[in-house]
Amino acid sequence: MSSNSVAAAIAPLPSWNEGATRDAILDFVQRVTTEGSPDYVPPSERIATFDNDGTLWCEQPNFVQGFFLLDRVKTIAAAQPELAAQQPFKAVLENDKTTLATFGKQELVTLVFATHTGMAIEEFRAIAQSWFDSAMHPRFQRLFRECVYQSQRELLEYLRSNGFKTFIVTGGGNGVVRTVAESIYGIPPEQVIGSSGKTKLEWQDGKPVLVKQPELNSFDDRAEKVVNIELHIGRRPLLAFGNSDGDLAMLQYTAAGTGARLALLLHHDDAEREYAYDRDFHLSPLREALEEVPKLNGGHIVSMKRDFKQVFP
Q: Indicate the length of the chain as a whole number.
A: 313
Over the window 151 to 180, marking each residue x when it contacts its own copies by CB under 8 A and - when it does not, the resulting string is: --------------x-x------xx--x--
d(CA 267, CA 279): 10
Q: Is 249 in the site for its own copies (CB under 8 A)?
A: yes
Render 82-151 in DSSP notation, one character per residue: GGGGSTTHHHHHTT-HHHHTT--HHHHHHHHHHHH-SSBHHHHHHHHHHHHTT-B-TTT-SBGGG-B-HH
In 219-284, which ranges are E strands? 239-242, 262-267
CB count, 10 Å around CB of 145? 18
Q: Is 205 in the site for its own copies (CB under 8 A)?
A: no
Q: Is 216 in the site for its own copies (CB under 8 A)?
A: no
Please check whether residue 151 is in contact with residue 310, taking contact to mean a CB–CB distance below 8 angstroms.
yes
Which one of the spans 130-138, 200-208, 261-269, 299-307 is the region binding its own copies (CB under 8 A)? 200-208
Touching its own copies, residues 112-151 (CB under 8 A): 121
Query: Partners of 168 in the beta sheet?
Result: 50, 192
Q: Is 291 in the site for its own copies (CB under 8 A)?
A: no
Return the residue of 6, 80, 108, 235 that touches its own copies, per CB under 8 A. Answer: 235
Q: Is 234 in the site for its own copies (CB under 8 A)?
A: yes
Least Å distance, CB 210 to its own copies, is 6
Least Å distance, CB 125 to its own copies, is 9
* DSSP conformation class of 61: S
Q: Which residues contact its own copies by CB under 8 A?
A: 44, 47, 121, 165, 167, 174-175, 178, 182, 188-192, 196, 198-201, 207-208, 210, 217, 223, 226-227, 230-235, 249, 252-253, 256
